[in-house]
Amino acid sequence: MGRYVVRRLLQMIPVFIGATLLIFLMVNVMGDPIAGLCGDRECDPATAAQLRHEFGLDQPVWQQYATYMGNVFTGDFGTAFNGQPVTELMGTAFPVTIRLTIVAILFEIVVGIILGVVTGLRRGRPVDTGVLLLTLVVISVPTFVTGLLLQLLLGVKWGWIDPAVSSEAAFGELIVPGLVLASVSLAYVTRLTRTSIAENRRSDYVRTAIAKGLPRHRVITRHLLRNSLIPVVTFIGTDIGALMGGAIVTERIFNIHGVGYQLYQGILRQNTQTVVGFVTVLVLVFLVANLVVDLLYAVLDPRIRYA
């Protein structure tokens, strides 16, 4: 197990470098990093040159990347467009997005798995068909449309929620945005659970469990569910990274000042350090979540042994 973790950590290094470098190049080469620094005006050539030197932008790109990553590993993520250190922005933005992600994951686990189990056990019945159609619709409607519609209905028309989330972004305010963020994954979790349950229901070991004379609820919870949820847990685990990275749209609709909001601002102002800094953390979260999922897999399924 230990050796497996080490090997996986080593494998993560090239992926980490590749992903951050890619983003670094995209931001750096394609845009002008200092364009946003002089406010709305164009920088005059002298100031621009000075700024370039100050930020090391006159050096070759690979060297800039190396310097930047060197700084990142000492905890210095650079400075945002408004002069704040990027780490400070992260300190306010990440807790918000993490709360939003937790709400979303809870929706996936509770609603997604329950719907999946119910439909998987009642394949072909009206409940199944209904939920299946609903998941198709949810998957098909883009998140931003779902978000705008829920905001319109719940926030504007019926006044159940505040259309915009306050800067504290408490859990209570994040329920609807969390549902919006989770929506597509929620539908996938439902479908995945359904397929998995339906497949395992016909398996030999479930037949054995029935032949043993176990009560139905025990067959389902102890034998069927335990096996069927392994792929679902894997999906939800890998989804953590995707949700945090995909929160941009949701955060924009509900005006949540989280990671997505800061990234959006950073991109608009072409501030390399904000964008690359946040993306670096997101990529790390994604990679670590994947590793944890792989290790969890070995815990859930004793047949998997990592050497």
By CB under 8 A, name the binding residues for other proteins: 14-16, 18-19, 22-23, 26-27, 30-31, 136-137, 139-145, 148-149, 151-152, 156, 195, 202-205, 207-215, 218, 222-223, 226-227, 230, 241-242, 244-246, 248-249, 252, 263-264, 267-268, 270, 275, 279, 282-283, 286-287, 300-303
**Minimum distance of other proteins from residue 297's CB (angstroms):** 11
The contacts of residue 139 (CB under 8 Å, 6+ apart) are 184, 187, 188
Nearer to other proteins, 34 or 170 (CB): 34
C-alpha 134/C-alpha 140 separation (Å) is: 10
Nearer to other proteins, 18 or 170 (CB): 18
C-alpha 251/C-alpha 246 separation (Å) is: 9
Say which DSSP state 172 is in.
Answer: G
Nearer to other proteins, 160 or 171 (CB): 160
**Minimum distance of other proteins from residue 58's CB (angstroms):** 20
Q: Could you give the angle at the alpha carbon of 166 between the alpha carbons of 147 and 139, nearest 5°?
A: 15
**Minimum distance of other proteins from residue 81's CB (angstroms):** 14
C-alpha 61/C-alpha 58 separation (Å) is: 9
Nearer to other proteins, 50 or 208 (CB): 208
C-alpha 220/C-alpha 198 separation (Å) is: 11
Nearer to other proteins, 71 or 203 (CB): 203
C-alpha 163/C-alpha 222 separation (Å) is: 43
